[in-house]
A and B are shown apart, each in its own frame.
Chain A
Amino acid sequence: MTGEDFITFEGVHKAFGKNVVLDDLSFSVKSGERVTLIGPSGSGKTTILRMLMTLTRPDRGVIGVDGDYLYHEKRGDELLPASEAHIRKVRQRITMVFQHFNLFPNMKVLRNVTEAPIHVLGKSKDEARERGKELLEMVGLGDKLNAHPSQLSGGQQQRVAIARALAVDPDVLLLDEVTSALDPEIAAEVLDVLRDIAKTTDTTMLCVTHAMKFARDVSHRVLMFNEGGIIEDGSPEKLFNEPEHERTQAFLRSVIDET
C-alpha cells in the first residue's frame, strides 16, 4: 500500500481494573488498507475496534482518523477532550459489523438499511431506498426487503448488517468476528460476500477473524496481538508461511479454522 496513514494509534493504553489490555500501543493503517487482527482470545483485538467505534474509551494516548483525532480536538498546540459534535463528525467515517448482528428488530430489513442514510446522512428517501435495495441485492437478499429481522437466519441477518454498514458509505469498515456465531457453511457464504466487497471497493478494513484462509485472501497486512501489544506485523504470506515469533507459530497451529 502506498496511501497516507489513515488511522493512527499513538501510545494507546487501556486497562479494565487491574487487567491491562493494551499497553502503550502504537500502529497505523493506510487508506484503503485491509488489515486482519489475529491473536489469542483476550488479547485486546475487540477492544481496539471498539475504541475506534467510540464504544470504549482509551485511558491514555490518541487515536487519529485522517488527520483528526477521535477523542481530542486541536486548539492551537493543545489537545483538548473532544466535544460530542467533534466525535460524531469523525465517527461518521467509520462503521462496524458485530459478531451478533445487532439488527434493529423494530424495523423491517430495508428500513434497517435506509434509516441511517436518511436520518444521519440526510439522503432523500428515494435515493436511500434505491441504494438499500441495490446493497441487499448484492448480499443476496433482494427478496427479503420487507421481512422482519426475526424471520431471517443468522447468516441472512449478518448479510443485512453488512448491507446496513455499507449504506453509510464508510471510509473505514470494522469487522469483529462477524462469522463466529454462524455455522461453517453459512459463515463461508458471508465471507464470500465480504470477499466481493474487498475486491470491488477501496474501503479501509480492520477485521478480527479466525477464518485464516479469508484473512490470507483479502488482507494486505496481518497484525498478531499478544499480551497487550502487537508482536508481529507483516504481509499474510510472511505471517502465515514463515511466522517469526514463537507465539505466532503456536497460535497459528492452534487455529484450525480453514474457511
Chain B
Amino acid sequence: MNEVFDWGGVWDAMPAMLDGLVVALQATLIGYVIALILGLAFALLRRSGSRWVSMPVGFVVEFIRSTPLLVQLFFFFYVLPLIGVSVSPLATGAFALGLHYATYTSEVYRSGIDGVPPGQWEAARALNFSRRRTWTAIILPQAIPRVVPALANYVIAMFKDTPQLLAITVVEMLGAAVAIGSETFRYSEPVAAAGLVYLVVALVMAWLARIVERRFGQVRV
C-alpha cells in the first residue's frame, strides 16, 4: 500500500463530500431554525410570572445544556420510534441539534432581554399595554437586534457539530469520508477532503456572520 499522501485521492472524494455537504447544511439550517424559535420560547417561559412554568422549563433547559449532544441524539433516535414517531434519521438529528442549541440561544435571548432598561417596562405599564403587546412591540424589538450577532455565530458551531449525527446513521461529510475509507482502506485523503470542505463552509459562514454583525451591530437606542 502506498504510504504517500495522494492529492488525487482528495479530489476523487469530492463528489461524495458534496452529497455529505448537502446533508450537513440541511441539518444545520433546520436545526438552526428550531434553535431560534425554541430558544426564544425557552427564554420567555423562564421569565413567566408563574413558578409552575418557569421552574420546570429552567430545569429542562439546564438539563439539556449539561448533557452531551451525542446522548440526546441516541435518545431521540431510539425513543421516538418507541412512542410511535417515525421520522428520518436526518430529521431526528436536526431536531436534537436544534433542541440542544436552543438552550444556548435562550441564554442569548435572555441577555438581550435583560439589556432592555427597566424604564421601558415602566413606560409600557404607564401606558397600560397588555403583556403580549409589551413583549411584541417594545421589549423584543429592542432585545433581539442587539443579540443578532451572537445568534449568527451559533450557525457555525452547529455546522461543526453535524458530524455527531453519524452516530445515528446520518451520513454527512465525515460519514462519507469514513465510508470511502472503509472501501479503499485509505482514510487520510477522504478525511482531509472532509476537513477542507468544513473549513471552506465555516469560513463562508463566518464571513456571512460578520456581515450580519455589521448590519445589526449598531442598534439605535
Interface residues of A (CB under 8 A from B): 53-55, 88, 91-92, 94-96, 98, 100, 102-107, 115-116, 119-120, 148, 150, 164-165, 168, 174
CA distance A194 to B149 in the complex (A): 43
Q: Which residues of chain B are near A107, meaning CB under 8 Å?
A: 137
Q: Which of A92, A100, A104 contacts B128 (CB 8 A)?
A: A92
B128 contacts A102, CB within 8 Å? no
Contacts of B117 in A (CB 8 A): 102
Determine the distance from Cα of A96 to Cα of B141 in the docked complex, in whole angstroms: 23
Given the interface contacts A91-B128, A116-B128, A150-B221, does A102 sit within 8 Å of B142 by beta carbon?
no
Residue numbers in A under 8 Å from B123 (CB-CB): 98, 102-104
Are A116's CB and B220's CB within 8 A?
A: no
Residue of A nearest to B131 (CB): A84
Residues of B close to A55: CB separation below 8 A = 122, 125-126
- Which residues of chain B are near A91, meaning CB under 8 Å? 125, 128
Name A96's closest neighbour in chain B (CB-CB).
Answer: B126
Residues in chain A near residue B142, CB distance under 8 A = 104-106
- Kindly state whether residue B59 has any CB partner on chain A within 8 Å: no
What are some 28 contacts across the A-B interface (CB < 8 A)? A53-B122, A53-B125, A88-B130, A94-B126, A95-B126, A95-B127, A95-B128, A96-B122, A98-B123, A102-B120, A102-B123, A104-B123, A104-B137, A104-B138, A105-B221, A106-B138, A106-B142, A107-B137, A115-B127, A116-B128, A119-B130, A119-B137, A120-B128, A150-B221, A165-B126, A168-B127, A168-B128, A174-B126
Least CB separation from A91: chain B residue: B128
Find out whether the CB atom of B133 lies under 8 angstroms from the CB atom of A120: yes
Residue of B nearest to A105 (CB): B221
B129/A98 in contact, CB under 8 A:
no
Binding site for A on B (CB under 8 A): 117, 119-120, 122-123, 125-130, 133, 137-138, 141-142, 220-221
Asked if A105 and B220 sit within 8 Å, CB to CB, the answer is: yes
Measured between beta carbons, the chain B residues less than 8 angstroms from A168 are 127-128
Contact yes or no, B119 A98, CB < 8 A: yes
The answer to whether A106 and B127 touch across the interface, beta carbons within 8 angstroms, is no
Given contacts A105-B142, A119-B137, contact A98 B127 (CB under 8 A): no
Expressed in whole angstroms, the minimum distance between the Cβ of B134 and any Cβ of chain A is: 10
Contact B126 A100 (CB under 8 A): no
Identify the closest chain A residue to B141 (Cβ): A106
B120 to chain A, nearest CB (A): 6
Contact yes or no, A53 B126, CB < 8 A: yes
Most-contacted residue by chain A among B122, B123, B130 (CB, 10 A):
B123
Which residues does chain B contribute within 8 Å of A98, judged by CB atoms?
A: 119, 122-123, 126
